[in-house]
Amino acid sequence: AQSVSQHNHHVILSEAASLELGCNYSYGGTVNLFWYVQYPGQHLQLLLKYFSGDPLVKGIKGFEAEFIKSKFSFNLRKPSVQWSDTAEYFCAVNAPNTGNQFYFGTGTSLTVIP
């Protein structure tokens, strides 16, 4: 089974700081990659996704992620965070050739200090 690792469990940043959250997965074949966000009191929503093509994908609210196949990574970035970005961030992987299961990381809690 695939696994997803998010090494940053808690991140605290000041507003306007740059953000990078790490995500590594274990599967060597074709993958679909996702970042989901959960704002306080809300349910999970999609931030961005990668299926194929340009490895640099852009999502909502100024977020982007880069797929680096050789490193099995899909790190999330934002050049300047805002207080409203305070949330839990989850990386997820689906390997379509092996089934329809989605594997989520343990999440990274981001706190942005005004």
Partner 1 sequence: DTGVSQDPRHKITKRGQNVTFRCDPISEHNRLYWYRQTLGQGPEFLTYFQNEAQLEKSRLLSDRFSAERPKGSFSTLEIQRTEQGDSAMYLCASSLGQISYEQYFGPGTRLTVT
User: What residues line the site for partner 1 (CB under 8 A)?
Assistant: 4, 6, 32, 34, 36, 43-46, 49, 51, 90, 92, 94, 96, 99-107
Q: Which is nearer to partner 1, 16 or 44 (CB)?
A: 44
Selection from 108, 114, 95, 113 nearest residue 37 by Cα: 108
Shortest reach from residue 81's CB to partner 1, in Å: 21
Shortest reach from residue 69's CB to partner 1, in Å: 18
DSSP 71-99: GTEEEEEESS--GGG-EEEEEEEE-TTT-
User: Rounded distance, CA 34 to CA 50, Å?
Assistant: 6
Q: Which is nearer to partner 1, 79 or 99 (CB)?
A: 99
Q: Which is nearer to partner 1, 55 or 99 (CB)?
A: 99
CB 71 within 8 A of CB 80: no
Q: Which is nearer to partner 1, 64 or 88 (CB)?
A: 88
